Structure 1
Amino acid sequence: MLYRTAGQFKTSYIADQALFPVKQDAFLLGIILALAWIVFPLTASEFTFQTLLIPILIYALAAMGLNILTGFAGQLSLGTGAFMGVGAYACYKMVTLMPWMNPIVAILLSGVFSAGIGVVFGIPSLRIKGFYLAIATLAAQFFLVWLFEKWAWLYNYNASGAIQVPNLEMFGVFVSGPQAASVTEYYIVLFVVTLLTLLCINLTRGNLGRTWKATRDMDIAAELIGINLMKSKLTAFAVSSYVVGVAGALYVFMWKGAAEPNVFDIPLSFQVLFIAIIGGLGSIMGNYLGAILIVGLPVVLNVVAGTQVFEISTPSAILLVALIAAATFLFWVARSLWGVGAAIGFGAVTLIYGYAQLQGFRIDSALIEHINVMIVGGLIIFFLIIEPHGLNQLWRLIREKLIIWPFPH
């Protein structure tokens, strides 16, 4: 009933190709934006900002940049962490050499340097592709991290070899550094992420996005119909590296506050890659879904498992209700093998968690970390088995079921 499309008629090609062909999608996005811009800043705590909201947005933006290159243009890359480092170091140099520069402008300009480096390392894509290109970008990853360590000018000859974010003001308010409030940093991150998300949506829906998709699907056929492969691939590297570079600047300036070169090593690249794959390659919304699962879920599990008492707490009760509702909803909507599997999985977790709550079972923090890794890894495998195209495709299937509900076809 919520997604009923009766009475929503399309009378032109423009209406049929609109960003929100179903009015409920626009309404749902409005609710999400209201939560992000109004509700969360008024209700979230310092812990929530620093462990959930800000990192989820930053990782989603980094995954979006990688998705432009891998999901839309079909060019494999394992150097995302290094390109994030280029953006972070470029922003650091700009605000230290030009302290009068607006911090938001510095963050947005830092992506330009990352885009330039990305184009340079994207040149091999004109001759090689697939795993060979992935190895070439992996070489860029190692080289750039080595450069961050050895070129002392990048970190202003600091004895520790790390970059320290200074206190930056904008309109008399600290927006970065030790004196900046978390809600201010959150608003800066949210503004930049929203801006670049709109940019990526428009690029992927336009002519450039169609050339990227044609290059991804079959580059030889794309070249035969007149697409310039050099322009298509290099623009994909440039746009992707720009977005990733901006994410790197936000990563250090609006979240970490300081960073050493090894922060941008290969584990960061793999983490962003996992977010893009789990969320769904070739999608924009999937980056946010993947970031919520990979970044947000371990934090939630940590908090819930670490606050267990004999009497069930309010957050625990909410989680139990959510698990039961999710199991019921998946079984009811899907009525298929993966729906049954999801219902059984959620039901098992609900029973185990409920028993632990009622018995007052408390888990060591070290054991919680290992359990988190196992749960997140198991969920990644589970979701990939259910839907190899990621969480975005899973949401599309659920949405289609809701549109035709209560009819089975």
Structure 2
Amino acid sequence: MAALRPAGDFDRSYQQDMAVVRQPWQWIALGLALLLTLTAPLWGNAYLVNTANTIFYTIIAVQGLNILTGYTGQISLGQAAFMLVGGYTSALVTTHFSFPFPLAVLAAGLVTGLVGLLFGLPSLRVKGFYLAMATLAAQFIIPWLSRHLYPDLLGGTSGRIAVPVPVLFGITFSELNQYFYLSLTVLLITTVLTLNISRSRLGRALVSIRDNDLAAELLGVNLFQYKLRAFFLASFLAGVAGALKAHSQRGVGTEFGYGLEESIFLLGMLVIGGLGTNLGPFLGVTAVVLLQDLARVTGQTMGDLFPALKARFLTSFRPIFFGLVLMLFLIFEPRGLAHRWQMIKAAWRLRPFAR
């Protein structure tokens, strides 16, 4: 590892070896990036702020999926459904119990985590394709229950209920420029959380299960316990993301994008960004969200050129672009954008001897 660092850069203590930000210039770059992000609502337009807000809460959901799939190797196709649980939970506790926004988001995460535990129970007996089918059950069961269970409470056949505007410290976050800071704050908290999980005993145990579950069990790792922890953490972060999305859109329901297609998109974001890396969710979500915007613009342009086919063009380019990009990444860059970024940094550090 020392060869991948600039000359004269070596560790003098365990704290330096474990440090995430190693150099003074990296602290400066991090501070400038945070300053640029915090001031985005002041100099950015509505599109930039709205896109950034979407990216923020989507990253949180993909961070949870990264713990389950990237670190533990357990495939899940129900992350969007767990986001739906979080959105409903936050909406109900704020509407009927007057929970403050931070407590509502926390409650959404905890309730969704418990729901995730139920669907994580089969993980001890099945894995791979069979586990994917087990988690797929959540993607069908949860939206169905939201439409047919307690129709007066959850919106009935429409499955849609209104979500109140967040209020924090007497400030009403009714504008997107204001809500931007709530999503960003929660994202920073979850980023610190997931980063420390990956560097802890829990993270190492999850990685050992992913690499070889039999060897991990022989070394004393309780497979069932750690797999359930992974499912709880993944569902918890999905619930937090769902709560943020619900309050951002002022409503929650199956029509707001919590279907199987969204779960596949979340998994694809993780694959494109890089499985099992802390940077992967950031790169993957940003790339796919911008790709979706490009698909929408392309569909509108083609629809203007061919008005008779406008409805088809508006809906067809999103899955086409996503499927094409995902296929290319699986062929040419299976380890994702995060791995490519690591290779670029290594080549820069080894200059002028980089290959």
- Do the structures match in fold with TM over 0.5? yes
Mapped partners of 2:152, 2:117: distance in 1:
21
- Post-superposition shift, 1:12? 2.3
Could you say if the C-alpha distance between residues 49 and 277 of structure 1 is closer, same or farther in structure 2, counting changes exceeding 3 Å? Answer: same
- Post-superposition shift, 1:59? 1.3
Mapped partners of 2:226, 2:243: distance in 1:
26
What aligned pairs does 1:239-254 form with structure 2 within 5 A after superposition? Answer: 239-254=233-248
Q: What is the identity, as a one-letter code, of the residue corresponding to 1:44?
A: G
Matching residue of 2:49 = 49
Matching residue of 1:388 = 334
Give per-residue Cα distances to partners, 1:175-214, cap 9 Å, x unaligned.
2xxxx11111110000011101111111111111001001
Identity over aligned residues, as a percent? 36
Matching residue of 1:195 = 189
Query: Is the 8 Å Cα contact of residues 102 and 170 (structure 1) preserved in structure 2?
Result: yes
Secondary structure of 2:192's partner?
helix
Mapped partners of 2:342, 2:306: distance in 1:
39
Correspondence 1:76 to 2:22: no
CA RMSD of aligned residues (A): 2.5
Mapped partners of 1:29, 1:381: distance in 2:
33
Could you say if the C-alpha distance between residues 144 and 241 of structure 1 is closer, same or farther in structure 2, counting changes exceeding 3 Å? Answer: same
Q: What is the identity, as a one-letter code, of the residue corresponding to 1:239?
A: L
- Post-superposition shift, 1:166? 1.9
295-304 or 111-120, larger mean C-alpha shift:
295-304
- Post-superposition shift, 1:41? 2.0
Of the three residues 337, 343, 349, the one matched with 1:397 is 343
Could you say if the C-alpha distance between residues 264 and 368 of structure 1 is closer, same or farther in structure 2, counting changes exceeding 3 Å? Answer: closer
Matching residue of 1:33 = 34
294-303 or 398-407, larger mean C-alpha shift:
294-303
Structure 1 gap segments, 5+ residues each: 308-361
Mapped partners of 1:364, 1:35: distance in 2:
41
What aligned pairs does 1:20-169 form with structure 2 within 5 A after superposition? Answer: 20-21=21-22, 24-38=25-39, 40-50=40-50, 52-99=51-98, 101-152=99-150, 155-156=153-154, 160-169=158-167
| Number of residues of Structure 1 aligned to a counterpart in Structure 2 | 345
Secondary structure of 1:264's partner?
coil
Of the three residues 276, 280, 289, the one matched with 2:274 is 280
Could you say if the C-alpha distance between residues 216 and 169 of structure 1 is closer, same or farther in structure 2, counting changes exceeding 3 Å? Answer: same
Could you say if the C-alpha distance between residues 157 and 271 of structure 1 is closer, same or farther in structure 2, counting changes exceeding 3 Å? Answer: closer
Query: Is the 8 Å Cα contact of residues 277 and 390 (structure 1) preserved in structure 2?
Result: yes
Could you say if the C-alpha distance between residues 364 and 285 of structure 1 is closer, same or farther in structure 2, counting changes exceeding 3 Å? Answer: farther
Query: Is the 8 Å Cα contact of residues 296 and 317 (structure 2) preserved in structure 1?
Result: no
Mapped partners of 1:184, 1:161: distance in 2:
28
Give per-residue Cα distances to partners, 1:6-56, cap 9 Å, x unaligned.
332311233123223455544443332222122x12112223222x11111
Mapped partners of 1:231, 1:93: distance in 2:
31
Give per-residue Cα distances to partners, 1:350-396, cap 9 Å, x unaligned.
xxxxxxxxxxxx86694576556544443333333332111110111
Mapped partners of 1:271, 1:201: distance in 2:
23
Could you say if the C-alpha distance between residues 75 and 19 of structure 1 is closer, same or farther in structure 2, counting changes exceeding 3 Å? Answer: same
Query: Is the 8 Å Cα contact of residues 80 and 269 (structure 1) preserved in structure 2?
Result: yes
Matching residue of 1:260 = 253
Give per-residue Cα distances to partners, 1:238-269, cap 9 Å, x unaligned.
11110011011111112x22232253221111
Mapped partners of 1:74, 1:23: distance in 2:
35
Give per-residue Cα distances to partners, 1:312-348, cap 9 Å, x unaligned.
xxxxxxxxxxxxxxxxxxxxxxxxxxxxxxxxxxxxx
Query: Is the 8 Å Cα contact of residues 93 and 154 (structure 1) preserved in structure 2?
Result: no
Query: Is the 8 Å Cα contact of residues 57 and 245 (structure 2) preserved in structure 1?
Result: yes
Could you say if the C-alpha distance between residues 127 and 57 of structure 1 is closer, same or farther in structure 2, counting changes exceeding 3 Å? Answer: same
- Post-superposition shift, 1:406? 2.4
Query: Is the 8 Å Cα contact of residues 151 and 157 (structure 2) preserved in structure 1?
Result: no
Mapped partners of 2:168, 2:156: distance in 1:
26
Mapped partners of 2:214, 2:23: distance in 1:
36
